[in-house]
Chain A
Amino acid sequence: MPHIEIESHLPGITGLLEYRKDSAAPIRELTQILLRGPSSLTEGERELIASIVCYGNECRFCTTAHTAAANLLLGETTTTASVLNDINTAPVSEKMKALLHIASLVQKSGKQVTEEAVQTAKNAGATDLEIHDTVLIAALFCLYNRYVDGLNAFTPGDPEYYKTLADRIVHHGYTRLPGGYDHLKNNPVQ
């Protein structure tokens, strides 16, 4: 049960973002720009960065949601699973390996990001903006994971829930649904 009173039809982050909408607005907008805005990293690559941070923070709700989104965007499930298992042997470019490595350092602490880790990314062709966005995406998910688990938000066990959620964050994005979430009241989540 969540630590505070959250509407029961809204699991995970959705219930928290609906609990306080004025703080939710900039969080949603920031996420939308970073993960869906114009970028030289694909949306799939950016969801991989989110996934590895959520996985490192052991946030089950966020990890399941963002790996589902990454899988949907990549059109297969092997890459995401390999990245979470071992960045070095995953079927991604050298540049992505270096960026994922930076993200996993940020997950531990900003201070862990070394000159060497950044240089490796630059040598593999990463631009300043790609490095910037990688660090900010990783930092943002350190916020999300703590928000969700720190308030013990409800984490559904039903895989179908995450399929629907992934579909929404891939096809609609991270902004609030125009009509809100009342329609979910008729579909209790397990």
Chain B
Amino acid sequence: MAHIKVPEAVPGIRSLVMYRPETGKHLYQLAHVLLRDDSPLSSAERELIAAYVSHRNNCMFCMSSHAAAARCLYGDESAIVDDVLTDMQRSGISEKLKALLVVAGKVQISGKSVTAQDMEEVKRLGATDREIHDTVLIAAAFCMFNRYVDGLATLTPTDPEAYKEMGKRMVEKGYALPDANGK
């Protein structure tokens, strides 16, 4: 059960944005800007960064929902998502994306763990300032979202089908505030 009285049977962050829509609308807006609006990184790549960081934070709800959204966006190549979550370095993604995920993984531990060598490597592989910026901010944002969702012990569905549906909605509708029924 959640630590505070949030709407029952509504999972994860949705229960929290319904509890306090004044803060919720800005949280959803941030997720939308970072994961859907203009960026040199594709939405699929950005959802992958979100899932990767949530996985490292052990946040089951965020990991499962963003992995589902990433699988949906990768379409025929959806296996990439599980390959990255299992062993990122051995997955089939580009060397540049691997280096960006290394940076995201460091940010997950602490901002201070990102080194000048990490930056040299990622730039050598062709990452632009804007790609680096967006990667760091997405990773930092998911360190917030994961703590918010788990810190208040929100409902975490265990049925993979529930996430499949969520992922589809996140791709089709983006990050829109839920209605009164949590949909």
B170 to chain A, nearest CB (A): 17
Contact of A146 among B27, B107, B134, B150 (CB under 8 A): B107
Instruction: Decide if B111 touches A136 in the complex (CB within 8 Å).
Output: no
Q: Is the CB of B132 within 8 A of A3?
A: yes
- Given A5-B129, A113-B3 in contact, is the A135-B147 Cβ separation under 8 Å? yes
Mostly, the A contact residues are helix
Please, which residues of chain B bring their CB within 8 A of the CB of A90? none
Q: Are A26 and B33 in contact, with the CB atoms below 8 A?
A: yes
Give the number of residues in B that approach A within 8 Å (Cβ atoms): 48
Q: Is A27 an interface residue (CB 8 A)?
A: yes
- In the complex, chain B residues whose CB is within 8 Å of the CB of A142: 140, 143-144, 147
Residue of A nearest to B143 (CB): A142
Residue from A27, A37, A135, A149 in contact with B152 in the complex, judged by beta carbons closer than 8 Å: A135
Number of contact residues on A: which range applies? 35 or more
- With A109-B150, A146-B136, A151-B133 as contacts: A33 and B3 at CB distance below 8 Å: no
Indicate if A22 sits at the interface (CB-CB under 8 A).
yes
* Complex interface: chain A residues within 8 A of B34 (CB): 23
Binding site for B on A (CB under 8 A): 3-5, 16, 19-20, 22-23, 25-27, 29-30, 33-34, 37, 57-59, 102, 105-106, 109-111, 113, 115, 118, 128-129, 131-132, 135-136, 138-140, 142-152
- Show 18 residue pairs from A and B whose CB-CB distance is below 8 angstroms, ordered by the A residue: A3-B114, A4-B132, A4-B133, A20-B133, A25-B29, A26-B27, A34-B23, A58-B112, A111-B150, A128-B4, A129-B4, A131-B152, A132-B152, A135-B151, A143-B144, A145-B140, A146-B143, A147-B111
